[in-house]
Amino acid sequence: MRKHLKPRTFKKLKGKVDLSSNTAGIKSPNPFWLASAPPANSGEQVMRAFDHGWGGAVWKTLGEDPAVVNVTSRYGAIDIGGMKMAGFNNVELITDRPLDVNLKEIAEVKKKYPKHAVIVSLMVPCERKNWHDIVKKAEDTGCDGLELNFGCPHGMSERGMGAAVGQVPEYIQKVVEYVKEVAKTPVLTKLTPNIADVRFPARAAMAGKTDGVSLINTINSVMGIDLDTLKPKFAIGGKGAHGGYCGPAVKPIALNMVSQIANDPETKNLPISGIGGVSDWRDATEFLLLGSSSVQVCTAVMHYGFRIVEDMISGLENWMREHEFETLDDFIGKSAGDIVEWKHLNLHHKTVAKIDSSTCIECDLCFIACNDTAHQCIVRPSDYGKTGKGWKIPTVIEEDCVGCNLCSLVCPVEECITMEDVETGHAPLTWEQYTAAGMTGYKEVYKRFHD
C-alpha cells in the first residue's frame, strides 16, 4: 500500500558525506556536470558554473574549423499544465566559435580549476587522421577526458557525423578505436536515443575499448504546427526541421536506457554518465541509483541558471545522511537490478484501489476514467438511488478492481486514492515460470491464475 509521507529525519553520520565522483577515471568534487550544450560554450560560463559548485563540465562540442553556421530561431518548447519548458527542442549545431579560441579557454579553465572535471566533447568526420588530430589538440589543453558526440540528431548527422555514426554500431566501434589509438585521457562515448535498442551501440563502444558511455543525447522531434499560419512552430523563415528533444519530459526514456546498459550482462560494468531531464537532486539520484556515476544537466540550467546546483548538492547530501550513505559508491546502481523484463514480474501480485472519503472532493474524475477507459469497477452511490452522507463519493468494487492504478493517477488530491496490496494466497509466479511449465495458452493461464 502506498503510505502517507512521513516527516523526513536526517541521521547524523560519523564523518562527512562524500559527494566526490569517479566516472571512468574522470574525477570531480561532486557528480553534477554541465552537459555539452550552450551553458558550457565558453570559459567564462564554465568558470562561473564552477564557482557556483558544479563538479564538472562537458565543453560544447568542438569540431574542425571553419566553424559551423547556426540558424535563428533555434529553440522551441512545450509547456504542460503550467510547467514551462517541460519539453525543450533545439536545432543548434556544435560550437560556432573558432577551435583555437575554445582550446585556449579550456586550458585556462583547467589551470584555474584543477580539481574540477573538464571534459571536451568532440565531433569530426569518420577518418582516422581527423580524429587523431582533434584528440591531440584537445588533450594538449590538460583536460580530464573526452566525450565522443555520436548523438546529435540534426544538422551534423546530415554531414555524416553525430547520430549518423551513433545509429551504426560498426561505425561507433571503428571511431572509438581510432580515438583510443592516441587518447591518453578517459574516453566517454555519447550515445543517441534515436535507435531501436541502445544496448547494441553500447556494446560496440565497449568493443572499441571506450572507458565509459554517456546517455542520452536528444530525441528527434518536431514541435508542432501553428494552426493560424499553418507553418511549423518556431520556424526559420517559415520552414522547420526536426530537432533534438530534451528536458523533464524525456527523463523516463533516459532512465530506461541507462538501466538497459546497467543490466546488460555485456555492459553492466561499463561506467555511465547519465543525461536526460535532470532538473533537481531527486532526478539526479534516480540516475545514480540506476547505475550512473555522474549526471549531466542542460535544460534545467538554461531555464533557471547555474545556481540550481546549490540545491542539488544540499539535497543529495541530506538524502545520503537520511539513508546513511557516506559515499556515492554506497548506492550507485543499487536499484538497477529491480528493473526487469516483463516476463519476470509477479503475476500473483494484486492491488486494489482505496478511496479516502474524508479527502475526496467529489470531482468524479476517477469514476469517469475507470468507467470510460478502464475496467468499470468504480460506482457512485447516487447512481443507485442512495442519498445521505457521502452519497456522491465514488466507491470501489474491490472484487472487480484489477489494480490498474488509473484512478489514483487522475485524482487531483494527494493520497486520496491509494493502491493497497491484497494477499492472494499464491506464491509469486512469473510468465517465464508459466511458459517453463508449458502453460502457454491464455485459457490455461487464466484458469491457473484464478484457481
Q: Active-site residue numbers?
A: 152
**Cα(286)–Cα(332) distance, rounded to whole angstroms?**
9
Angle at 279 between CA 322 and CA 106, to 5 degrees: 105
Which one-letter amino acid corresponds to residue 290? L
User: Which SS3 state, helix, strand or coil, does residue 343 take?
Assistant: helix
Short-list 409, 29, 74, CA closest to 240: 74
- What number of other Cβ atoms are within 10 A of residue 140's Cβ? 11
Short-list 351, 348, 353, CA closest to 422: 351
Residue whose entry in the numeric block shows the C-alpha cell 541521521: 11
Rounded to a whole number of angstroms, the CA Rg of the chain reads: 25
Which residues on neighbouring strands pair with residue 28, listed in sequence order? 21
Which one-letter amino acid corresponds to residue 408? S
Q: For residue 142, what is its C-alpha cell?
A: 590538460
CA atoms within 13 A on the CB side of 45: 20
Which one-letter amino acid corresponds to residue 380? R
Pairing status of strand 378-379 against strand 350-355: unpaired
